[in-house]
Amino acid sequence: MKKFLVVAVVLVLGATIVGGAVIIPGYTSNVCEPGGTLNVSELLENPVYDIEGKIYGKVSLLGELFCPCFELTSGGEKVLVWYGLMVEDDGTERPSVSVEGIENGDWAIVTGELKSEGEYRALNDFWASNIEKAVSVNASHAGEEVIVAVGDLLIVTLESNPTTGFVWTLEENSDESVLQEVGHEYVAAETTEPPMPGTGGEELWTFQALKEGTSIISMKYSRLWEEGVEPAETFSLTVVVK
């Protein structure tokens, strides 16, 4: 990824900040509902309690909290996912869920329930009944082939700095009946210090595998208003759904 010297701030392009995500005109964080699998922002925007569903996001604080729980973040919002010590108001304890193979920084799909406030839980705790690692790729996988199963989510993470005017655009998804784009957002780099002007982050593209087949996705990193100019970066991936 090329580095760009900039003095602009995130307010360029009319950006707004929602949670940890920067929403910029041209970005569509909720392209469509991915087969019932929501990002955390969608879940909390219209919360439905005690009904099983699926959410996806990036795992953090696993093993760092004083509870069998971790934070799951997507769409600029986060939720606390519990995989143990899930106790109903009547004292009934739900079975614990394995987090083997899941690490901080992984993208995960969590099946479970958003909970209302109770004697043994806080409002908007998410109780897991199943946790699985999502398929995630980045710029190092450019030009490669990745295999996913029907129903899987594919997360494509690409470095980006919209303060330069550059953004990633999806140029091709050769078979949308096989692979469907279901989300796109920009997330600023995490830092304990206030970010310096011009600090970049990542664009997250989410796709869902709908049926068996192959689709080729290609993207370019460019300024939208510049015509006839070679992109600063390109990315392509062959996705085989089995």
Q: Provide the token pair at 186.
A: 């920009």
Share of the chain above pLDDT 90, in %: 69
Q: What is the CATH number of domain 12-32+135-241?
A: 2.60.40.2020
Q: Do domains 12-32+135-241 and 37-133 have the same CATH topology?
A: no
Nearest-CA neighbor of 62 among 103, 110, 112, 121?
103
pLDDT, tens only, 142-178:
999 999 999 889 999 999 998 899 999 999 999 999 9
Distance CA 142, CA 32 (A): 25
> With contact defined as beta carbons under 8 Å apart, do 86 and 125 qualify?
no
Architecture per CATH, domain 37-133, reads as Beta Barrel (2.40)
**pTM of the predicted structure, to 2 decimals:** 0.76
- Domain ranges in the chain are 12-32+135-241, 37-133
Chain-wide mean pLDDT for the chain?
84
